[in-house]
Amino acid sequence: MSPPQPLVDQFQRRITYLRLSVTDRCDLRCAYCMPERMTFLPKKEVLTLDEMHDLALGFMARGITKLRLTGGEPLVRRDMMDLVRALGRRIGNDEGHGHLQELTLTTNGTRLAEFADELRAAGVRRINVSLDTLDRATFARLTRRDSLPQVLEGMAAAKAAGLEVKINTVALKGINEHEIADIIAWAHGQGFGVTLIEVMPLGEVEEDRIDHYLPLMHVHDDLSRRWTLTPSAHRTGGPARYWDVAETGGRLGLITPLTNNFCEGCNRIRVTATGQLYACLGGNERVDLRAALRSDDPDRALAEALDTAMRIKPARHHFAIDERGAAPALARHMSMTGG
């Protein structure tokens, strides 16, 4: 039998990075991400942790070397650490299923204090924490929960556990634009990296995103007047482009899905907690991996589904926020697809 073929799409992009959502549920309600009264998926529709493990092994056999666990908030899922430990054993370990070079996690940080040591012990070395403000009142307004102290405690615990922490900050006009420099300076002072992200038009929310869309080219220009920003060759496998900040001694990443499309170098696919593979965050092209896993011949069905995904992955997304009252680019929320 010939070995499984690497995942290469029709544009000859090699896919090596899987973002796997373990749940659509979250203990925060960020205003740009979801409505206050969010309807979550019935638990019976969500893959079991064993199915997620089998799915991850199938991806590794096809050349996936980096796996990021996302949500929703991944750490709210019961027994989540069982999956982390099982996947962590695949790091650098090739027993016919391929192997991982890196297992990472994106979290809102509310439960990091509880799990930081376990994550490190399981093989996680680097995490992303979503944090858009250091002001408690602004945090409560944005997330609709007064949880900033728990997030700060969680990041401190992650640092103490020896995890590399990178903060993801969505740049929001009129909300946090005045404190972006302060967030960067604080984070670099803690030894954390920072990546700024443009708000993405995914799912219906109560506010019009055009009111808070802040192009990062403007932020970069403002920061350049304050600090010395030097382009960096640093890459993590994701879409961010990095700058070294001379005055803080830290690194700043920018993710610009709206103002500077980065799709030509895309190496990523996303799988939802229900096993739907979305070939592009900004598209509706998908294949049903849950049906493949639960079929009579899951290995064959999964292989065929992944081949289909490579054929339908589009050249680029078409995100835009340029018209008041416009419907979101896609109806599904970010928490469903995986952050």
Q: Where do the H-state alpha helices sit in 173-215?
A: 180-190
DSSP state of 58: H
Question: CA 98 to CA 62: how far, in whole Å?
Answer: 7
Q: Would the annotation count 68 as a binding residue?
A: yes
Q: Would the annotation count 290 as a binding residue?
A: no
Q: Kindly tell me the number of DSSP H helices and DSSP E strands found in the chain.
A: 10, 12
**Token pair in block for residue 196:** 């700024």
Q: Would the annotation count 127 as a binding residue?
A: no
Q: Would the annotation count 283 as a binding residue?
A: no
Strands 193-198 and 229-231: unpaired
Element (H, E) at 309: helix 298-312
Whether omega for the bond prior to residue 98 falls within 30 degrees of 0, making it cis, is: no
Q: Would the annotation count 26 as a binding residue?
A: yes
Q: Would the annotation count 337 as a binding residue?
A: no
Q: Would the annotation count 72 as a binding residue?
A: yes
Question: CA 283 to CA 201: how far, in whole Å?
Answer: 12
Question: CA 17 to CA 12: how far, in whole Å?
Answer: 15
Q: Would the annotation count 166 as a binding residue?
A: yes
Question: CA 81 to CA 322: how far, in whole Å?
Answer: 41
Question: CA 302 to CA 304: how far, in whole Å?
Answer: 5
Q: Would the annotation count 175 as a binding residue?
A: no
Q: Would the annotation count 213 as a binding residue?
A: no
Q: Would the annotation count 200 as a binding residue?
A: yes
Strands 241-245 and 268-271: unpaired
Q: Would the annotation count 269 as a binding residue?
A: yes
Q: Would the annotation count 180 as a binding residue?
A: no
**Token pair in block for residue 258:** 């709206």
Q: Which residues are annotated as a binding site for S-adenosyl-L-methionine?
A: 32, 72, 130, 200
Q: Which residues are annotated as a binding site for GTP?
A: 19, 68, 106, 166, 268-270
Q: Which residues are annotated as a binding site?
A: 19, 26, 30, 32-33, 68, 72, 106, 130, 166, 200, 263, 266, 268-270, 280
Q: Which residues are annotated as a binding site for [4Fe-4S] cluster?
A: 26, 30, 33, 263, 266, 280
